[in-house]
Amino acid sequence: MDALASLTHYPVHLTGNHIVVNIEAADPITFADRTGLRYGLTLMTPPYFLSNTFEEMDTLVASEIPPEVLSTGSVFKGAYFDVAPHLDSLLIRTPPLFRQTTIGICESLTTPYYVRKIRTHDDAPIDQLDAPVAYAIKAGIAEREYAAYHDFFFTEYIGKGKRFLTWAPNARTVHADHQEYLYLLTHFSPLPTSLKLICQAYYTDGTSERRVGNQLTTVYPYKVYSFPVGPRALGLLNSPKPVSHFEVWVSNQDDERLTEIRWYRLETQYRRNVRFLLFANSLGGFDTLYCTGKGVEQVKYVRQITERFTGYDYPPEFSEKQINQVTGERELTVSTGWLSKVQAEYLQELALSPEVYLVTDRAYLPLMPVTDSLKTADDDETLIGRTFVFRYTNPEQHYSRLPSPENLPKRPTGWRPKAITCLLDANGKRTGLKAAVLLEKYYLDDNTRVPEAPIKSNVPGTEGYLPPVPSVDCQVTPFLSAAIGRSGTYQRSNCGADQVGGPALISVPAGLFGSEVSQADADSKAEAEYQRLNTQSYADLYGSCTTAPELYAWEVPAGHWHYRSGSHTQMQVYFGMQPWGNSWTVQGLPGPYVYPQNTNNQNFPVQPDVYWWFAFLSGKPLKSYRIQVFSNGAVIIDKVVVMNHEGTEHIWLFSYDGVNFYNPTSGAKVYVKMTEQ
């Protein structure tokens, strides 16, 4: 079994749900008259597969949401736009090739995009801002789960579970002729240079064999790859010994596992009724349903009848009524066979599918579901089976039964480049490779274009694929990210006794990320990397442990004192007579001494009236906490505070006893320690 690869997964937006973009409201003081305000959003997308340039797809214009009037003032929310329908219409879901045996790529299932936010007042521009490049996929999840998962589905669920794009239960039974496919989204880093489909075959004699079922050496970021994992595609039917079951997963060039392990049992029992339904699932891939129940096909014929004048001396064989056209609508009724409760619940995926195909001996035939209801659960059922009715989407007007057309003569053709671009790695930097991204088909004998053939993407594993080549034009990335080196916002929580945890220094080296769009886009990728590393687990690994945190060093400006807390996420301070501090009470107020809420390391001016310095504390309800205030390493205040029933308390910061107060002098380094008793 291959060891797991260490991967970082990035978010991808679901076009089947809402992708909401907010444009912040214009300053209500500057623009007191709101009637002339307009908010515009321009959606920018690449014109073709692997393109590094963006073009305007659509521009939306809206007025702002009316201000919400509260007792404390008015809330201006700006304007909201849902770009999901526009992106979804751009993307295309494509079924796998019939009897596909190689790894394929779904080139039109995902897309990068960014939005341009525009604010105007009386048609005069206020400002314009380009958001960072994001990625979207033609997929969706249940509406009841979207609110919680829309930002975390591809990082926390798909990414951490290293899952394929399917809701099908793991541990499935497959037939020898089963065309089964698994789909993988490469939204992770480091991007592999090779994708290997690994199959572990288990034989009936108890032995097993590891084999590479397929391999692809050209891998693009944020693309969906399809892997054929049916017994015939994996070559299991030609094994020297009978196969009882097998496992499949995808590994990289170093044989490190990138995905979960899927388990399949190979059906050896004779089945009188065997049918396969290929259908689009909710996550952009295609699943196959193996049906062993009874099936019935019937055709409903519609005849177009015309009448003609017969005259008075027509012969007996002359017909006054004549059939002008006959159209047949074929209908299929199929039963699934016996299912478990998990398998029966999964049938909702088939009922909701926008694309269904019947797998025949030579093609996928499109079907239109007729069944309009499905029993999803019955507490009293033990043996579960369901029946579906489909109508063939293409009408029939003639009958024929011809052999496969594979051996018919064909005019020789080839493929040539239509558009070229530089390839990028997972960080948006140029790889030094140039690739043809669009191809057109032409006749080899006269070099003319095949008129009925569409211009197609240059996809690995497909007909006419042209591999990338090294190019000096693709060596230098236009925009590289600047370096980031600053402390995280989490404190180390696993230090030893009498030690206080500090933040970890998070470093993102310069040039780690790149962009073809703008410097701001490159820097936003570096900032996203900082946010990804800014976690409690990272702080527990790399954060500092200080034995005497009250003796910290700091360059304090003249006429000021410095504030630091050992529990800054549980403590907010503020000065009651001026907008100074980091509490919620001063947020949004002007002034040089207003700091973000719950932050640390702040300078404040020396002043005589220390009575107005307060602290908000938060902790466990009714628990006691020891509050120690140090100045230049010496403890000056040591008292116990009991939290109220809500787990909060409001205290004087520098009060000894409620009557006498400490006054920090110029250069004082104040440290506040909060310890649960």
Tens digit of pLDDT for each residue in 391-442? 999 988 888 888 877 778 888 999 999 889 998 888 889 999 999 988 999 9
Domain span holding position 318: 157-392
Place of tokens 């003639």: 398
Angle at 587 between CA 584 and CA 591, to 5 degrees: 135
C-alpha 480: how far from chain center: 24
pLDDT of 112: 94
Do both 323 and 456 map to the same domain? no
Residue 86, pLDDT score: 95
Which of 513, 546, 579 represents a domain boundary (last residue)?
Answer: 546
Q: Is residue 3, in this structure, part of any structural domain at all?
A: no
pLDDT of residue 277: 96
Residue 397 lies in a domain: no
Regarding whether 333 and 283 lie in a shared domain, the answer is yes
Each residue's pLDDT tens digit, 126-156: 999 999 899 999 999 999 999 999 889 999 9
Whether 518 and 418 share a structural domain: no
Residues 164 and 313 in one domain: yes
Residues 272 and 226 in one domain: yes
Query: Which residues contact residue 517 at a Cβ distance below 8 angstroms, ignoring those fewer than 6 apart?
Result: 54, 114, 130, 133, 479
Residue 471 in any domain: the answer is: no
Residue 618 has pLDDT above 70, yes or no: yes
Residue of 154, 151, 56 lying closest to 110 (CA atoms): 154
The pLDDT assigned to 70 comes to 78
User: Residue 225 falls within a domain, yes or no?
Assistant: yes
**292 in the same domain as 189:** yes
pLDDT at 50: 86
Question: Do residues 643 and 623 make contact, with C-beta atoms less than 8 angstroms apart?
Answer: yes
For residue 498, the model assigns a pLDDT of 66
Percent of the chain with pLDDT over 90: 63
| Residue carrying structure tokens 């034989």 | 203
- Of 117, 140, 155, the domain-final residue: 155
Q: What is the predicted pLDDT for the residue at 601?
A: 86
pLDDT of 61 above 70: yes
For residue 489, the model assigns a pLDDT of: 82
Q: What is the mean pLDDT of the chain?
A: 91
Which pLDDT value is given to residue 353? 95
pLDDT digits (tens, 9 = 90+) for 323-339: 889 999 999 999 999 99
pLDDT of residue 567: 84
Look up tokens 């596909």; give the residue. Answer: 100
Q: Is residue 405 domain-resident?
A: no
Phi and psi angles of residue 298, each rounded to the nearest 5 degrees, phi first: -145, 155
Same domain membership, residue 223 and residue 125 = no
Bridge partners of 560?
A: 605
Its pTM stands at 0.79
**How many folded domains does the chain comprise?**
5
pLDDT at 497 over 70: no
Q: Are 101 and 490 in contact (CB under 8 A)?
A: no
Domain boundary among the residues 522, 546, 570 is at 546
Inside any domain, residue 474:
no
The residue-averaged pLDDT of 356-367 equals 93
CATH classification of the domain holding 143: 2.60.40.10
The rounded distance, in Å, linking the Cα atoms of 234 and 246 is: 10
- Contact between 220 and 423 (Cβ < 8 Å): yes
What average pLDDT does the segment 168-173 reach? 93
Average pLDDT of span 359-377: 92
Residues 121 and 209 in one domain: no
Residues 6+ apart with CB under 8 A from 42: 56, 58, 59, 60, 115, 116, 118
Query: Residue 172: pLDDT band by 50, 70, 90 thresholds?
Result: very high
Domain for residue 494, yes or no?
A: yes
pLDDT for res 611: 77
644, two tokens: 């109220």
The alpha-carbon radius of gyration of the chain (Å, integer) is: 33
Cα atoms in the Cβ-side hemisphere of radius 13 Å centred on 325: 5
Residue 192 and residue 123 share a domain: no
Q: Are residues 67 and 115 in the same domain?
A: yes
Q: Clarify whether residues 167 and 148 are in a common domain.
A: no
User: In the numeric block, which tokens belong to residue 470?
Assistant: 């090294």
Q: What is the tens place of the pLDDT at every residue in 636-672?
A: 999 999 999 999 999 999 988 878 888 899 999 999 9
Q: Which of the four pLDDT bands, split at 50, 70 and 90, describes residue 500?
A: confident
Indicate whether 400 belongs to any domain: no
- Residue 197 shares a structural domain with residue 295: yes
CA distances from 165 to 170, 214, 414, 604 (A): 12, 19, 34, 54
**Confidence tier at 291 by pLDDT (50, 70, 90):** very high
Q: 462 with 104: CB under 8 angstroms?
A: yes
